Amino acid sequence: MNGPGGGQTLILLRHGHSAWNLTDRFTGWTDIALTGIGIDEAETAGRRIARAGLGIDEVHVSVLRRTRQSARAALVGAGAVGAPMFATWRLNERHYGALQGMRKHAIFALWGERRSRAWWRGYQEPPPPLADDDPRHPRFDARYADLDPVLLPSAESLADCQRRTLPYWREILAPRLAAGRRLLVVSHGNTLRGLVMHLESLSPEAMESVEIPAGVPLVYRFDNSSRPGGRVWLE
């Protein structure tokens, strides 16, 4: 990779520090706001993008406010506040089912550390699902009222999250990159892990050790065949 600038450029950014990070809770699809720390992280990320000489033509976020807040702060830092923003449920965080809202130490105490970590870091096994009548279920959320209820998860493994995300990559993001658009995608840790796994053709075993730090831009350059030609973290 010959530096981060130019060519077909994709920037991935995990949202900044949120209010539930303070209490070590599983957030998932719960709509939690950023803290002041998270806003600063995102704006710093934007400044790193600008220093790297990268332009941003458009931004893609989840429907959860922590990605929109991060995107707006990053655009301020990058000096690209006029870039259009597109939101989709397909970039939402992995749905943690019955674990959502629970503290990690309580989950470990209830189900055991080994099983809990398999849900947390593994690829195939989903956590316990929400009941259909649980008020936390996304079918009760007005933001998803236009979606077929069959599409709305009660819990997701990383594999489920990846299957839900990749149609957006194939149908929206990849064609726009091929058309020369410079994209910033602001999403969540597991959603971005699944996308990185796809872009780099990683195995599920290799994926378990991949970390996506909050607020650090990950830049991919693509060749004419729309395959990633290299990557760099803007740390």
Helix (H) or strand (E) holding 158, with range, is: helix 158-168
Euclidean distance between CA atoms 220 and 198, whole angstroms: 13
DSSP letter for each residue of 175-220:
HHHHTT--EEEEE-HHHHHHHHHHHTT--HHHHTT----BT--EEE
Q: Active site includes 93?
A: yes
Q: Residue 121 is which amino acid? A: R
Six token digits for residue 234: 């803007």
Which position among 41, 43, 93, 156 bears the catalytic label? Answer: 93
Q: At what angle do helices 189-199 and 158-168 cross, to 10 degrees?
A: 70
Other CB atoms within 10 A of residue 90 CB: 20
Euclidean distance between CA atoms 51 and 30, whole angstroms: 33
Q: Which active-site residues does the annotation give?
A: 15, 93
